[in-house]
Amino acid sequence: DVSGYFILDTGTPYLVLNNHYFKGQPTGKKVIGLIGQEVDIYKKEVDLSMGNLKWFRVEATLLPLNHLSQAKGVTIMGLIGASVLKTYELVIDLDNRKLELVKANKASVAERYGETPDAAFKFIWRGGIPVIKTMVGDETLLFGFDTGAGVNAIDKKKSEQLADHLTINGEARVVGIGQGNQSMPSGSIHNVIIENYYCPEMRVVLAQMARFRGFDNELNIVDGFFGYEFLKHFRTVVNFKKGTISLYHRDSLATAYIVAR
Q: What is the pLDDT of residues 111-122, one digit of tens each?
A: 666 678 899 999
Are residues 117 and 202 both part of a single domain? yes
Residue 237 parent element (H or E) = strand 234-239
Are residues 174 and 235 both part of a single domain? yes
Tell me whether residue 184 is in a domain: yes
Are residues 61 and 172 both part of a single domain? no
Confidence (pLDDT) at 260: 34
CA atoms lying within 13 Å on the CB side of residue 216: 8
Are residues 64 and 175 both part of a single domain? no
Tell me whether residue 58 is in a domain: yes
Structure confidence by residue, pLDDT tens digits, 12-62: 899 999 999 999 998 888 776 655 567 788 999 999 998 889 999 999 999
CA atoms lying within 13 Å on the CB side of residue 88: 17
Are residues 143 and 249 both part of a single domain? yes
Structure confidence by residue, pLDDT tens digits, 76-85: 999 999 999 9
Q: Classify residue 193 by its DSSP letter.
A: E
Are residues 139 and 224 both part of a single domain? yes
Are residues 140 and 213 both part of a single domain? yes
Confidence (pLDDT) at 81: 94
Q: What is the CATH number of the domain that holds 146?
A: 2.40.70.10
Confidence tier at 258 by pLDDT (50, 70, 90): very low
Number of domains making up the chain? 2
- What burial letters (b/e) apply to 203-218, b meaning 16+ CB within 10 Å? bbbbbebeebbbbeee
- Does the pLDDT at position 152 exceed 50? yes
Are residues 132 and 252 both part of a single domain? yes
Decide: 153 and 225 in contact? Cβ < 8 Å. Answer: yes
Mean pLDDT of 214-235: 80
Are residues 137 and 228 both part of a single domain? yes
Tell me whether residue 90 is in a domain: no
Structure confidence by residue, pLDDT tens digits, 136-150: 999 999 999 999 988
DSSP characters for 84-105?
GGTTEEEEEETTTTEEEEEE--
- Does the pLDDT at position 252 exceed 90? no
Which range of residues forms the domain containing residue 31? 5-85
Structure confidence by residue, pLDDT tens digits, 83-98: 999 999 999 998 888 8
Look at residues 22, 54, 85 and tell me which one is the last residue of a structural domain. Answer: 85
Confidence tier at 205 by pLDDT (50, 70, 90): very high
* Bridge partner list, 7: 79
Q: ∠42-39-43 over CA atoms, to 5°?
A: 10
Q: Classify residue 163 by its DSSP letter.
A: G
- Higher pLDDT: 73 or 129? It is 129
Confidence (pLDDT) at 1: 74
DSSP characters for 6-37?
EEE-TTSSSEEEETTT---EEEEEEEE-TT--
Structure confidence by residue, pLDDT tens digits, 153-191: 999 999 989 999 999 999 887 766 655 677 889 999 999
Confidence (pLDDT) at 197: 94
* Residue 52, C-beta contacts closer than 8 angstroms, at least 6 positions apart: none
**Dist. CA 202–CA 187, nearest whole Å:** 8
Cut 0.85: pTM above it:
yes
Confidence (pLDDT) at 66: 84
Decide: 10 and 85 in contact? Cβ < 8 Å. Answer: yes
Mean pLDDT of 226-236: 93
